[in-house]
């Protein structure tokens, strides 16, 4: 089965940072990747794929993988977290940065991990 999302990630090779870290020693910078294929909110999108490919079976496991990658950052490096959405808690109104703007009732659509 052809999967454009997986193909896109595979084409990045070692630079795919989903649940991983990419270090730039000369800049003292590390990029830590969030949950791949995230659509925001508090549910895993494509859970079978995340489990098989990344070993993340639930939101807690997803959080753990992101934290592990960040905690392994070399001393003195700044960290940039690269993810599809911002974190939960930045607002629930339709004009808030992670607010749901596609329904009139709004809602917080940030990633909990």
Q: Is the pLDDT of residue 26 over 90?
A: yes
Structure tokens at 4: 């454009």
- Using a cut of 0.95, tell me whether the model's pTM lies above it: no
More confident: 8 or 90: 90
Structure tokens at 7: 């193909």
The per-residue pLDDT of the chain, averaged, comes to 83
More confident: 109 or 26: 26
More confident: 98 or 78: 78
pLDDT band at 1 (very low <50, low <70, confident <90, very high): very low
Compute the distance between CA of residue 66 and CA of residue 61 in angstroms, rounded to an integer. 9
| Cα 69–Cα 74–Cα 76 angle in degrees, nearest 5 | 125
Strands laid side by side in the 78-82 sheet: 21-24, 29-33, 78-82
Q: Is the pLDDT of residue 11 over 60?
A: no
Summarised one tens digit per residue, pLDDT across range 51-95 is 888 888 898 999 999 999 999 999 999 999 998 777 878 888 888
């Amino acid at each position: 089965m052809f999967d454009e999302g997986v193909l896109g990630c595979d084409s990045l090779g070692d630079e795919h940072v989903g649940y991983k870290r990419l270090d730039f020693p000369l800049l003292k910078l590390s990029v830590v990747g969030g949950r791949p294929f995230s659509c925001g909110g508090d549910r895993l999108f494509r859970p079978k794929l995340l489990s098989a490919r990344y070993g993340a079976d639930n939101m807690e496991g997803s959080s753990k993988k992101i934290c592990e990658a960040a905690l392994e950052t070399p001393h003195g490096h700044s960290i940039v977290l690269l993810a599809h959405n911002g974190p939960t808690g930045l607002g629930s109104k339709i004009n808030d940065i992670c607010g749901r703007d596609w329904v009139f009732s709004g809602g917080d659509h940030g990633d909990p991990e």
